[in-house]
Amino acid sequence: MRTQTEEVRGRIVEAAYESFWRQGFRRSSVDSIAERVGLTKRTVYAYFRSKDDLLAVVMQRYEELAAERLEHIGKRLPADRVGLVDSLFVQLSGWASTTPRWSGSGFTRLVVELADLPGHPARAIAHRAKAKTESWIAERLAGARVANAQVRAREIMLLMEGSMALTLIHGGRDYLDAAAQVAKHLVRQK
């Protein structure tokens, strides 16, 4: 029985993940999530007290997926500083161009959507995930002997986030390519 319960819970989380990712948190309803899974709204509420609780679990799952993605990206990064940054942006650009209906970073989109709710738990989860990404970049930059690796990592995060937002606004990879050029310039500095 426990296995069945975990399986149903997992299906709800996956359906909510897909709904929140595609439609946003506020436009997703518990009714539509239940319908995706073939359950009743009441059943969803038997597993999760509220839509916010469901979002917290979805965000934790997304955080795990983001960590797996970083691990995958990390395995493909060259050791030299310019190659490392170039590969990072090439992989980001590949994600943007090969993912159907790509809509940028889910963490960023969610925090923007919840901008009027500064104490919302999902914002803390997004903060933690973005901080991990920044630290991950700083570690790789330090390994490539980039001066001021922490500062460069923060600058690269700004370039990544900004270029993703502008790519969504304008389409195409031009902003990702421009961000990559600036990031490569930054890591060449002594």
Beta strands in the chain (DSSP E): none
**Which is nearest to 59 in space by CA: 84, 86, 25?**
25
Mean pLDDT of the chain: 89
Name residues whose C-beta falls within 8 Å of residue 166's C-beta, 6 or more positions apart in sequence: 175
What tens digit of pLDDT does each residue of 78-97 get?
989 999 999 999 988 887 77
* Residue-range domains of the chain with CATH: 1-48 (1.10.10.60), 60-188 (1.10.357)
Q: How many helices (H) and strands (E) does the chain have?
A: 9, 0
What tens digit of pLDDT does each residue of 22-40 get?
888 889 999 999 999 999 9
Tokens of 14: 């996956």
* pLDDT confidence of residue 74: 87
The DSSP secondary-structure symbol of 157 reads H
